[in-house]
Amino acid sequence: MSLACFDTLVGLSKVTYDCFTDTQPTGYNDSDSGYHLTDTDFGLTVIDQCEVEGWTLLQSALEQAILETKSDLRAKLRERFDGGLSPYSGVIAQLTKTGTLSVSNDYLGQRYRTVQQKGMKWVIKKIYIGVNTSGDYTVEITSNDPLFVSPAPVVVTAVANQFSVLTLDTPIELPLFSRACTDRYIDYYISFDRDGALPLNNKITCCGAKPGWMKHLTVSGFAAQDNEGTGAGYSSLGHGLAIDGYMACEELDWICELEELNGYYLKDVVARCIQQRGAAIAISALIDTQQVSPCTGYQIENLNSRRAYLNQRYADNINWIAQNMPTGVTDCFKCKPANMFHRSKQLV
């Protein structure tokens, strides 16, 4: 999920300014929170005296503030919590073979099964197919999750008796959480019609290895009657398929989904972060670019003081959000283990 809710929380200004030398953009006063970068309380208030490209300055400051708010929130959460994701980047299923595998069903593939893990996803970059007959094979991905939209099928051009790869133009994401599957596993089926070919005999894993993905996924190979695993017999064999990807976690998605946090409207606090940091960035731009003028020349001390104040309020709000993240809204973080060792004095 994208963090699109951040982009519309704060507007540039409620009003227009005659002194600006550029034209206001469409939607300059749109704000989901009602806050703007030029508000009297936590905004840039001297901008109405400035003969500058003010809309460009404000837009740039807002974009930078949104970026920094996301980055600083992630950093503060990582400082307070341990990561819940077991990192993994690589191939699931081996790219080595021991001959071919005799099968009777038409669809070959793998089932990716997961329990609910909020925020986490498996991102597919490449798909490998190994069969004994050269040709084009169409790979499909389906799921028992009614909210999952299957991506468009992709075609892998295979060369007989070796693993051939397709690098995806756009990675495919398989979420490890669904609101529609809270009482059961989420299953993804990655499969292709073998069209009479036999799969190369590869394994999912080997020799007792437990790569990082096994903490989040259970992967089994199958030969089935269709692309949804009907009539499949699941095993530890890869059935001529291997998937290259990585585990990822959307650490801030819960902010766009959660409406209230401990009695405070969470998006309101995030909006304050963006507003305060954006106004501070705009002040810096004015101070750094303007010569002596009614806009800045006689107010440098006040502007510096206001910038420091806004940056401190921004830091306080970032810290508050991290301290008050509700339990259960994401699995991207977990509590740090209790410190069992304490410093004490010893008499000698």
Indicate whether 52 pLDDT > 60. yes
Q: What are phi and psi of 259, to 5 degrees?
A: -90, -40
Could you tell me which of 268, 236, 249, 192 has the C-alpha nearest to residue 34? 268
Note down the domain range covering 300: 4-82+254-334
Task: Give pairs for 301-304: CB < 8 Å, separation 24+.
Answer: 303/46
- The model's pLDDT over 149-164, given as tens digits with 9 standing for 90+, comes to 999 999 999 999 999 9
Stronger pLDDT, 67 or 259, i.e. the higher one: 67
Mention every residue, 6+ apart, whose C-beta is less than 8 A from residue 6: 66, 69, 70, 255, 256, 270, 274
Could you tell me which of 330, 169, 348 has the C-alpha nearest to residue 256? 330
- Would you place residue 348 in the very low, low, confident or very high pLDDT band (cuts 50, 70, 90)? very low
Which of 208, 239, 270 is the last residue in one of the domains?
A: 239
**Which CATH number do you get for residue 217?**
2.60.120
In a domain, 313, yes or no: yes
Which of 239, 268, 283 is the last residue in one of the domains?
A: 239
Indicate whether 176 pLDDT > 70. yes
In a domain, 248, yes or no: no
Lowest mean pLDDT among 26-35, 124-133, 332-341: 332-341
- The answer on 109 and 70 residing in a single domain is no
Which pLDDT score is estimated for 66? 97
Q: What percent of the chain has pLDDT over 70?
A: 91
- Would you place residue 264 in the very low, low, confident or very high pLDDT band (cuts 50, 70, 90)? low
- The answer on 327 and 210 residing in a single domain is no
- The answer on 216 and 115 residing in a single domain is yes
- The answer on 76 and 126 residing in a single domain is no
Cα R_g (the chain), whole angstroms: 27
Which of 206, 239, 272 is the last residue in one of the domains?
A: 239
Indicate whether 37 pLDDT > 80. yes
Determine the average pLDDT of the residues in 130-143.
97
Indicate whether 344 pLDDT > 60. no
Residue in the structure block whose two tokens are 């300059």: 28
- The answer on 106 and 77 residing in a single domain is no
- Whole-model pTM: value is 0.83
Indicate whether 328 pLDDT > 90. no
In a domain, 246, yes or no: no
Q: Where are the alpha helices (DSSP H) in the chain?
A: 4-7, 54-80, 253-257, 266-289, 300-323
Q: Give the tokens for residue 80.
A: 């307070």
Indicate whether 44 pLDDT > 90. no
- The model's pLDDT over 199-216, given as tens digits with 9 standing for 90+, comes to 999 999 887 778 889 999
Q: Give the tokens for residue 336.
A: 């740090």
Cα–Cα distance for residue pair 112/205, rounded to 1 Å: 14
- The model's pLDDT over 68-111, given as tens digits with 9 standing for 90+, comes to 999 999 999 999 999 998 889 999 999 999 999 999 999 999 99
Mean pLDDT of the chain: 89
Cα–Cα distance for residue pair 140/115, rounded to 1 Å: 22
- The answer on 261 and 187 residing in a single domain is no
Which pLDDT score is estimated for 293? 58
Bridge pairing between strands 260-261 and 264-265: antiparallel
- The answer on 286 and 156 residing in a single domain is no
In a domain, 89, yes or no: no
**Into how many domains does the chain fold?**
2
- The answer on 258 and 234 residing in a single domain is no
In a domain, 348, yes or no: no
- The model's pLDDT over 269-285, given as tens digits with 9 standing for 90+, comes to 999 999 999 999 999 98
Which pLDDT score is estimated for 107? 96
Summary count for the chain: helices (H), strands (E): 5, 15
Could you tell me which of 253, 274, 250 has the C-alpha nearest to residue 32? 274
Q: Give the tokens for residue 202.
A: 């590869």
- The model's pLDDT over 15-33, given as tens digits with 9 standing for 90+, comes to 998 888 899 999 999 999 9
- The answer on 24 and 64 residing in a single domain is yes
- The answer on 235 and 98 residing in a single domain is yes
In a domain, 235, yes or no: yes
- The answer on 277 and 155 residing in a single domain is no
- The answer on 66 and 165 residing in a single domain is no
In a domain, 194, yes or no: yes
* CA triple 317-287-58, angle to 5 deg: 60
